[in-house]
Amino acid sequence: MIREMILPQLSMGMSEATVVEWMVREGDHIERDQPLVSIETEKVVTELPAPYRGYAHLVAKTGETLAVETLIAKIADSEEEYRSLVAGTYAPGSDGVASSEALTVSSAAPGPATEPGDTSGAARRKPASGLARALARERGVDLAKVLGSGPGGRVERSDVIGYAETVAGRAYVMREKAKIPLTGMRAAIAKRMVAAKATAAHTYLFFEIDITKLLATRKTILGDEEELGTRVSLIAFYTRALALACEEVPVCNSTLANDEITIWDNVNVGIAVALPGRGKYDSGLIVPVVRDVQDRGLLQIARETKELVRKARAGELSPQDTSDGTITLSSTDSFLPGGWMVSAPLLNLPQVVGFQPGTPIEKPVVREGQIAVRTMLPCGLTYDHRAMDGEPIGRFVRRLRDLLTDPELMLL
């Protein structure tokens, strides 16, 4: 018998996913629940186990983005069924096995995948040295068009160089360093950012908050780090302050979808986490969610945030870890250490508020007619003007300032 495996819907709202990597080769014998394929949704990479035991015929290609419930693999109970399947001669009989005559048509598995950079069949068939093929990929040269000077017409490295120089007419040549496919997480980020900019009425605020006292309070807490069992980060303070400000101005803890503003009782703060890309030049971003922050103290927020960041960077987040956010925090603290910098984020739809603290910096400020050195936190905030006007967001910012200026309000 031959069974089909379809792309499952792993979470609400999931409509498609990209095949990242097959953990088995075409034709391999696999066991049930063995890791079979990793897929990438808008938010996370997830491993899917084999649903059956048998011989794997891989239908979906690596890098391919498919809709939910699309066929991605077939699994044959026997080697004979697998061979007839890939030969296109499978015809189940009463026992579910193809006839022996049909099985003799082909016993070979599908051929090897195409070599990266070779886009034509002629290029794959052209005899060429490994150095020549590597250089052709680097310079974007079609090997099928290169006259080989080696034995049997084999293309050598010098042939590729000569062809490239001839085509360019020895003029200035742009040299490509890398190509980053706009697929998977990068494509999802691009799609969501463009949708956010095109949909929401982004309105930006830029301001400073004096966090001199907050840093002193944190320093005291860090002195008890071993006893407390965790290190309380600035992010934990910012997250707690956001939750308390949302409780005072509930419309800031809302989502806007289907022409309806929903104000949430749960304050679920998304924490933007930068991720390394799969290649040397690309990068990624994911937003795990700390849930019910309104009921959490600083220590619990610090522990949960630390664990979510660890899981994000280890690729261990589940779809549930990145869902149900009501407001997003994205710090740029590490962008310009020691320097003043501020920006405001694009909204994480359907949320209506995003907060972006920068790098705290010491600077002279006037306090009660005197110049004093204080540590100031540059901040950017974005809100959706469709959901609210300036008055509530003004109250929200003032509450945020009061909490971060006097952190004892957060410790009560």
Domain ranges of the chain: 2-103, 121-168, 184-411
Does domain 121-168 fall under CATH 3.30.70.20? My reply is no
Task: State the pLDDT at residue 281.
Answer: 75
Rg (CA), the chain: 29
| Kind plus residue range of the DSSP H or E element containing 55 | strand 54-58
Task: State the pLDDT at residue 92.
Answer: 65
| Kind plus residue range of the DSSP H or E element containing 291 | none
Task: State the pLDDT at residue 113.
Answer: 36
The b-or-e profile of 344-364 (16+ CB within 10 A means b, else e) is: bbbbbbbbbbbbbbbbbbeee
DSSP, collapsed to helix, strand or coil, labels residue 27 as coil
Per-residue pLDDT of the chain (412 residues; tens, 9 = 90+): 899 999 998 876 678 888 988 989 999 999 988 989 988 887 677 889 999 999 999 999 988 889 888 999 999 999 989 989 988 887 765 444 433 333 222 333 333 333 334 444 555 567 887 778 878 888 888 888 888 888 778 888 888 888 887 776 555 566 777 777 777 777 888 888 888 888 899 999 999 999 999 999 999 988 887 788 888 999 999 999 999 999 999 999 999 999 999 999 999 999 999 887 766 777 888 999 999 999 999 999 999 999 999 999 888 998 889 999 999 999 998 888 878 888 889 999 999 999 999 999 999 999 889 999 999 999 999 999 999 999 999 999 999 999 999 998 888 5
Full strand arrangement of the beta sheet holding 65-67: 45-49, 35-40, 16-22, 65-67
Q: Distance (Å, rounded) from C-alpha 382 to C-alpha 368?
A: 31
Instruction: Please name the residues in contact with 269: beta carbons below 8 A apart, sequence gap of 6 or more.
Output: 239, 242, 243, 289, 290, 293, 325, 326, 327, 328, 329
Pairing of strands 283-286, 289-290: unpaired
DSSP assignment of 152-184, as one string?
A: GGPBPHHHHHHHHHHHHTT-------------H
Task: State the pLDDT at residue 162.
Answer: 83
CATH number of 2-103: 2.40.50.100
Considering the segment(s) 184-411 as one domain, its CATH architecture is 2-Layer Sandwich (3.30)
> Which residue type is seen at 333?
D
Tokens read off for 221: 């807490």
Q: Distance (Å, rounded) from C-alpha 39 to C-alpha 74?
A: 17
Task: State the pLDDT at residue 125.
Answer: 60
Q: Distance (Å, rounded) from C-alpha 304 to C-alpha 308?
A: 6
Pairing of strands 327-329, 269-271: parallel
Task: State the pLDDT at residue 310.
Answer: 93
| Cβ neighbour number for residue 56 with a 10 Å cutoff | 25
